[in-house]
Amino acid sequence: MNKFSIYQYLIIFVVLAIGSFYALPNLYPTQPSIQVAYTDTAKSADQGLLVELEEILDSSNTVYEDMFLRENKIVIKFNDVDTQLSSKTVLQNALLDKVIIALFLEPSTPQWLKVMGANPVKLGLDLSGGVHFLLEVDIETAQQGRLELLLDTYRKSFAEDRIKFNESYIEDLVLFFEFSDKDSYNKALKKYRDESLGINGVQYVITERPSSNQLLLEYSDIALREIRDYAVGQNLITLRNRVNELGVSEPVVQRQGTNRIVVQLPGVQDPTAAKKIIGKTANLEFRMEANARTSPLRKEEFNFKENDFQTAFLEKAVIVSGDKVTNASTGFDESGFAQVNITLDMQGGRAMQKATSGNVGRRLGVLFVEQKTKSELVTNSLGESVIEQTTYIEKNIISLATIQNVLETNFRITGVGTPAEASELALLLRAGALAAPMKFVEERTVGPSLGKENIELGMKSILIGFALVVLFMAVYYKVFGIAANISLIINLVLITGIMSLLGASLTLPGMAGIVLTVGMAVDANVLIFSRIREELKEKDPQTAIRDGFSRAFVTIFDANVTTLIAALILYIIGTGPVKGFAITLSIGIVTSMFTAIMCTRAIVNLVFGNKNIKVLPI
């Protein structure tokens, strides 16, 4: 007789229960919302900011559903996307640089589901929208940084070669040296010419002023192109590392044009944090404290980060910067204050060892280098109020401690502020320093309205395809067709549940993958039913059912495995939407095999199993 064991039914029940549970959160819709947080990481959103936001929105007659504090930010919920977008503009114009405002979709999943780790399927950028940033790399600052390193290198080199100079500085991206005598001038000119020819061509443009013993040096077009490509390339790598630290699914980080980078983060739950981390140019510079013997030309005065009224002089020469950091983690010192544990690469470790070996007892300063943006509300030529932004670099001392022992690759820095600030600094250092500052050229949430239309059209295509398949199967295969239709429903539930459990993002091509999966699931059932019909010509109904399922398995397995391999290759070599298609297709292949082979057979056995049947309705 055709039997189906209790263990097989138990497996189906457990899989279906888990899939249904994790698919359940998708029944709860998201709501257009805004997150507001202070720009300063050290400050957490409080009741004062909440009241200020209420007053601004009330004065502009903006209707919002709810406003509340959550951790270090404020969440404002709205009934529609239009109000959400207009409210962001109102708040941004009123508060400017005081806060970071980000659009997002607030999930309404019940807490008891969240506790169990059940969350809705993350929607891709083309469906839910998400954060879209267009950043521009500041090439001039990168060039200025290179020139400062070059200036320091030549100062040391000239001193070693006994080339005497009176004056040296950088102005308008030009390196200037004035030499003490004609002999020093000629030696320096020869040195410039010898070193100007790089691997890819001439690196420097030299302007000679022999009458005044002056030499001017600026980068050639070839060198500028190399600097630009390096700065954009390094920033691209750093941004990808930072996005990975944020744990965003299916992010897009790619170069656009010569000096711009596009960052797309679909379905981010904390866009304010994302904007802080992605846009922040945070770096460290380790410098020795200047002493009485240090020349005024070789030292700079800086404020302390925690106290603007306290200052100290540091040497201009940078021992090590943040790009030499290979790892950074947070901890607490003996007094319970936050600290950052630093690990340098071999080159950075050697530089630190060399600088500190002869300076035990002196103080080592740690500079926190940060790019900041200043916003102003101005009136354009059309009489409209727009926000105009300018960027600037701010350097503050976060630590000035006495060197107790020679420092190498591992050490710690204290005075980094709150644990939250220490954690953010460690994250930025782990992800890598930006080679050049960046500014936000464009910031938007990608089409929530377009996403809604995409979802509606995608769901319509799935439903139409599903309805036609259900109708065909029920009419053509009768009871067996109804069993296949129930398996199709189970298949869709399992796909949704698995995607929710894995945290995979559903994109528009992913929806196409689901439609394709429905067709493949039906195809598996058709193969089984066709095989049963063939077996019925020579065997009794129960044997035909048993052999039909078992013999069709090999064909189904071969067909699905080859498709699965193609889907895995798509996932490995594809990006963005292509990966979304590959993910849903792969999950759908596995679930369709399970539902066709296990679920359909279980339903058929419940109806026909252990019964004396003369005619099989198929």
CATH number at residue 77: 3.30.70.260
Which residues constitute the domain of residue 504?
6-25+447-608
Asked if 344 and 319 sit in the same domain, the reply is yes
585 found inside a domain: yes
Quick check: is 118 in a domain?
Answer: no
- Give the total number of structural domains in the chain: 4
The yes-or-no verdict on residue 314 having pLDDT over 90 is yes
Residue 187: φ, ψ to 5°:
-65, -45
> Is there a contact between 287 and 315 (Cβ–Cβ < 8 Å)?
yes
Question: Average of pLDDT values for 37-57?
Answer: 83
425 belongs to a structural domain: no
Indicate if 470 and 601 belong to the same structural domain.
yes
- Is 520 found in the same domain as 407? no
Q: What is the pLDDT of residue 47?
A: 87
Query: pLDDT-derived band of residue 272, with 50, 70 and 90 as boundaries?
Result: low
**Tell me, what CATH number does 505's domain have?**
1.20.1640.10
**For the domain that residue 171 is a member of, what is the CATH number?**
3.30.70.3400
Residues 224 and 362 in one domain: no
Kindly report which listed range (60-74, 192-206, 339-353) carries the lowest average pLDDT score: 192-206
- Per cent of the chain over pLDDT 90 is 6
Mark whether 261 and 325 lie in a shared domain: no
* 341 has a pLDDT exceeding 70: yes
What pLDDT does residue 280 have?
Answer: 64
What is the length of the chain? 618
Confidence label for 275 from pLDDT (cuts 50, 70 and 90):
low
- pLDDT (tens digit, 9 = 90+) per residue, 69-97? 887 788 999 988 788 888 888 888 888 77
Q: Tell whether 298 and 376 lie within a shared domain.
A: yes
Residue 392, judged by CB atoms within 10 A of its CB (0-12, 13-18, 19+), counts as: exposed
User: Using one digit for the tens of pLDDT, what is the confidence trace for 223-245?
Assistant: 888 888 888 887 888 788 777 76
Q: What is the mean pLDDT of residues 131-150?
A: 83
pLDDT tens, residue by residue, 115-136: 888 888 877 666 666 677 888 8
> What pLDDT score does 584 carry?
85
Average pLDDT over residues 385-404: 78
Same domain, yes or no: 56 and 178: no
Is residue 29 within 8 Å of residue 108, measured between CB atoms? Answer: yes
| pLDDT tier at 451, thresholds 50, 70, 90 | low
Confidence (pLDDT) at 21: 92
d(CA 221, CA 376): 35
Average pLDDT over residues 252-274: 75
Alpha carbons 618 and 599: distance in angstroms, whole number: 18
Instruction: Indicate whether this model's pTM tops 0.85.
Output: no
**Is there a single domain that holds both residue 91 and residue 37?**
yes
β-strands 260-266, 204-209 pairing: unpaired
Judge if 561 and 516 occupy the same domain: yes
Q: Give tens-digit pLDDT for 586-610.
A: 888 889 888 888 888 888 888 887 7
pLDDT > 70: percent of the chain: 87
Both 48 and 102 in one domain: the answer is: yes
Same structural domain for residues 559 and 451? yes
Locate tokens 């607490």: which residue?
332
Residues 440-444 have a mean pLDDT of 72
pLDDT digits (tens, 9 = 90+) for 294-312: 888 888 999 987 777 889 9
pLDDT at 552 over 90: no
Residue 426 belongs to some domain of the structure: no
CA distances for 391 relative to 149, 479, 542, 564, 605, angstroms: 22, 70, 78, 49, 71
Whether residues 153 and 220 share a domain: the answer is yes
Lowest mean pLDDT: which of 3-7, 91-95, 246-250, 334-338?
246-250
Of 446, 467, 485, which marks where a domain is finished? 446
The DSSP code for 428 is H
Binned at pLDDT 50, 70 and 90, residue 271 comes out as low
Tell me the pLDDT of the chain averaged across its residues.
81
Residue 424 lies inside a defined structural domain of this protein: no
The residue written with tokens 């399970």 in the block is 594
Q: Is residue 555 part of a domain?
A: yes
Domain membership of residue 579 (yes or no) is yes
Task: Evaluate whether residue 460 is within a structural domain.
Answer: yes
Please tell me the predicted confidence (pLDDT) of residue 302. 92
